[in-house]
Amino acid sequence: MPKPSIYTKLTPANRRLFGHSRLWLAPDHILLLESTWFNESYKRFAVSEIQSIVVTESEPPIVLQIVMILAALAWMTLWFAATSKFAKWSFAVTGGLALIWPVVDWARGPRCRCMLHTRVTDQWLEPVSRIRIADHFLGIVRPMIEAVQGGLPVKFTLEGAHEFGEQADQAPPPTLFTSPSYLPEILFGLFLIDAVLIWATAHYPKVQDISAVLLNLLGCEVLLIPIVLIRRKGRDSRLIVYVVIALAIIGLAFDFRSIGSSFVGWYLTVLDKAKAGNRSATFVELFPLGADAVISYSWRLAAGVIGLAAAFYERRRPLQ
């Protein structure tokens, strides 16, 4: 009968192109396994020798994610240029698969870096790559370290904290500055681009490439708005920026009512032509020239300009 292993899985595997790494837990040490296609290496860190574990949240690759989403949506617009059904579905399926990566990355939560310090080495723990993994990791490892090494001395925690508190009361409070993400700025820039495209598709409805690009960028607006609002909590103290985004949701609802009416009109026109035996092409006018189109590109223009100005003004405002 095989002897049971002393190790249990501490973190999920952090997979890379040429291998993976994982942390395992033993009763008296942590094991870091680093595996490639050709070999495996092991590093052990005794619980009694760990001096500190530092976890810092890292900035998400927002620019890369946005570029990948836009590239995938642009790739999917080739559906309209392809002639065969196989080519159409190839562009649609491959573009949809490319959209999975940023969605999964957002769903996994904020990224982080974890550094383990001992007396002789500093080790970057690659498997601890997300905040939720770090919380689970520290929740298990910290009680073990305190059980072996003990907590802080009572003298330090009481007398030292009292002296530090007296010094802190005499010193003026520091001025803090916000360091929010640039997602709102990206969204406002997208509003300005879409405003130009809506004006163009209203004046040149027969150029279907404009409508195809516009339809995909409108989908980016729908994806970005909830992401911006969700990521605001605890990260961004700006106010005017998010008031503009909240008002933009009303504008989007108006736009989708107009787009729905356009598609219904296009569908009915195609049916009438089919009954009459007319095989001529019928163009989809997302925003026919009129009051709806003027309202759609006007509110985007206003939201883009006001939002960018407010984001610039509020970015370095001190916290109260």
Name the domain count of the chain.
3
Cα Rg, the chain, nearest whole Å: 28
Q: Which of residues 235 and 30 earns the better pLDDT score?
A: 30
Same domain, 292 and 218: yes
Q: Is residue 168 part of a domain?
A: no
Same domain, 219 and 118: no
Same domain, 99 and 119: no
Q: Is residue 162 part of a domain?
A: no
User: What b/e readout covers 239-259, taking b as 16+ CB neighbours within 10 angstroms?
Assistant: eebbebbeebeebbeebeebb
Same domain, 302 and 257: yes
Distance CA 36, CA 10 (A): 19
Residue 222 confidence (pLDDT): 85
Q: What is the pLDDT of residues 249-286, one digit of tens each?
A: 888 888 877 777 777 776 777 777 777 777 766 666 67
Residue 76 confidence (pLDDT): 79
Residue 316 confidence (pLDDT): 56
Q: Can you give 245-287 as a three-state secondary structure string? A: HHHHHHHHHHHHHHHHHHHHHHHHHHHHHHHHCCCCCCCCCCC
Residue 158 confidence (pLDDT): 45
Same domain, 189 and 68: no
Give residue 85's domain range. 61-108
Joined together, the tokens standing for residue 124 give 């970057």
Q: Is residue 173 part of a domain?
A: no
Same domain, 228 and 303: yes
Joined together, the tokens standing for residue 72 give 């995938």
Residue 157 confidence (pLDDT): 47
The dihedral through the CA atoms of 87, 91, 92, 97 has a sign that is positive
Q: Can you give 55-67 as a three-state secondary structure string? A: EEECCCCHHHHHH
Phi-psi region of 178 (alpha: psi -120 to 50; beta: other; left: phi over 0): beta
Same domain, 85 and 118: no
- For residue 315, pLDDT over 80 is answered with no
Q: Is residue 171 part of a domain?
A: no
Q: What percent of the chain has pLDDT over 90?
A: 4
Q: Is residue 154 part of a domain?
A: no
Least confident of 5-14, 112-121, 232-241, 307-316: 232-241
Domain boundary (82, 108, 134) is at: 108
Residue 161 confidence (pLDDT): 46
CA neighbor of 106 nearest in space, from 22, 212, 231, 4: 231
Same domain, 186 and 214: yes
- The answer to whether 101 touches 68, Cβ cutoff 8 Å, is yes
Same domain, 203 and 306: yes
Residue 114 confidence (pLDDT): 92
Chain-centroid distance of CA 123 in Å reads: 28
Q: Is residue 78 part of a domain?
A: yes
Q: Is residue 135 part of a domain?
A: yes
Residue 283 confidence (pLDDT): 61
Average pLDDT over residues 172-181: 50
Contacts of 121 (CB under 8 A, 6+ apart): none
Domain boundary (92, 108, 124) is at: 108
Q: Is residue 170 part of a domain?
A: no
Residue 320 confidence (pLDDT): 44
Same domain, 83 and 101: yes
Same domain, 123 and 232: no
Place of tokens 């989708």: 256
Mean pLDDT score of the chain, rounded to an integer? 78
Same domain, 273 and 194: yes
Average pLDDT over residues 164-182: 51
